[in-house]
Amino acid sequence: MALPRKPNRLILPVGDCDHCQGSPTAKITLVQYGDYQCPFCRVAHDIIPSIQQQLGEHLQFVFRHFPQPQLHPEAYHAAEAAEAAASQNKFWDMHTHLLQHQSQLADSDLVEYAIALYLDVDQFLAEMASDCHMARVQTDIDSGMQSGVIKTPTFFINGLKCSDEQHLEGLLEAIVQANHD
């Protein structure tokens, strides 16, 4: 029997497969569904470190992929590149690089980023060519859709979907409110 869908709630709990920064026992878990070509995700990327600094050990940040190829044709492949970097323990480095270079996400650019991050380029190329990370990216997309994600960035604070905060004040205010609930 299928469970009823609860849009606006995080359906897939944060787990070992997620890309996390901060303690898993933090009081607040902030999950972002993002797209590497989305300009608002770049804005969010610039905001998150400030929130992490202000909340310190009280915050765990999680990033999940939600590429929107109909809007951003290179975003899906960029998500795969982030996963290929993750297989070499460099997810967050590639994540930052991709968001900082949103307009340069062609395959040749992704290889240059792998070189710049000192990845094993042969392994990176083999993984990209084999599409071995597609299932991981698709799992994030599916969990996002089941949780009511329709655009990026979408944030969940302690499992509840935020309204459309894309500015530091609104997102930080929502997190602080969740911290007091």
- 2 belongs to a structural domain: no
What's residue 4's pLDDT? Answer: 52
Q: If DSSP codes are grouped into helix, strand and coil, which group holds residue 52?
A: helix
pTM, two decimals, is 0.92
Per-residue pLDDT for 173 more than 90? no
Per-residue model confidence (pLDDT) at position 1: 47
Can you tell me the mean pLDDT for 15-35? 96
Mean pLDDT taken over the chain: 91
pLDDT of residue 164: 58
pLDDT of residue 174: 81
Is residue 88 in a domain? Answer: yes
Q: What percent of the chain has pLDDT over 70?
A: 91
Is residue 19 predicted with pLDDT exceeding 70?
A: yes
Question: Is 44 contained in some domain?
Answer: yes
Domains in the chain, number: 1
The model's confidence at residue 171, banded by pLDDT at 50, 70 and 90, is confident
Q: Mean pLDDT, to the nearest integer, of 97-114? A: 97
Domain containing 37 — which CATH number? 3.40.30.10
The one-character DSSP state at 165 is -
**What's residue 160's pLDDT?**
92
Decide if 168 is inside a domain. yes
Rg of the chain over all Cα atoms, to the nearest angstrom: 16
pLDDT digits (tens, 9 = 90+) for 106-144: 999 999 999 999 999 999 999 999 999 999 999 999 999
Is 127 within the bounds of a domain?
Answer: yes
Residue 3 domain-assigned (yes or no): no
What band does 61 get if pLDDT is binned at 50, 70 and 90?
Answer: very high
* Cα dist from 142 to 86, 135, 177, whole Å: 20, 10, 28
- In terms of residue numbers, what domain contains 89? 19-180
Q: Is the pLDDT of residue 148 over 80?
A: yes
Q: Is residue 129 one of the residues assigned to a domain?
A: yes
CA atoms of 43 and 136, how far apart (whole Å): 25
Q: Decide which of 155 and 176 is more confident.
A: 155
| 141: in domain | yes
Virtual CA dihedral for 91, 96, 143, 132, nearest 10 degrees? -40
